[in-house]
Amino acid sequence: MGQTLKVVGISGSLRKDSVNKKLLDFVATQFPNEVEYKYVDYSEVPLFNQDTEMPIPIGVKAFKEQVETADIVIFATPEYNGSIPGVLKNGIDWLTRPTGHNSLTGKVAGIIGASPGQGGTIKAQLHLREILSHVNMDVPGQPRVMCNYIKDKLTEDGDIQLEGKELENVQKLNKRLIEMAKAFKKDEVTV
């Protein structure tokens, strides 16, 4: 594969037993061995307030540094009231601050989501796609990974196990993210 690609996962839910965190864990198992994956815990990131932006809070600095090491950022979002959770939007806002120091610029973004209901996070994913495009991330249009009725996909140990079309979509998304990240790395070398 050549150069190692680094992937970080960010969950839109900070809940300890979050199914979206579990979905990230499952997606990480579907990457080839040459891909390094790390989950990013941003629970220490405060609410964004421009009055407290400088100096950058310690939790924000650590969050930004972890994301900046990545070639690919995978966002797993639940759907709260038809959109993304406020905590995820807050994290994204901090990642683009201070002005001129956007930690997301030029990175490849994957969007996935798990839901206990039928919708499978489609509205949240559409909103997140718009936000990530706005902050200069490259988001593939397909495939979409939206896991509905997620409680039916939990093993006895509480882990997520996907099969069929959902597993196929995860594998296709991972492949597409890797292709995009490799293309960007190749472009960086030739510039």
> With the CA atoms of 99, 53, 60 and 107 taken in that order, what torsion angle do they form, in degrees rounded to the nearest 10?
-10
Position 158 pLDDT exceeds 80 = yes
146, containing H or E segment: strand 145-147
| Banded pLDDT at 188 (limits 50, 70, 90) | low
User: Tens digits of per-residue pLDDT, 33-55?
Assistant: 999 999 999 999 999 999 999 99
Whether 44 and 59 have beta carbons less than 8 Å apart is answered as: yes
Q: How far apart are CA 107 and CA 70, in angstroms?
A: 8
Tallying the residues shown for the chain, one arrives at: 191
Whether 5 and 35 have beta carbons less than 8 Å apart is answered as: yes
User: Tens digits of per-residue pLDDT, 60-82?
Assistant: 999 999 999 999 999 999 999 99
Q: How far apart are CA 183 and CA 189, in angstroms?
A: 10
Position 120 pLDDT exceeds 90 = no
| Banded pLDDT at 184 (limits 50, 70, 90) | confident
Domains of the chain, each with CATH number or no CATH? 5-190 (3.40.50.360)
Q: How far apart are CA 132 and CA 109, in angstroms?
A: 8
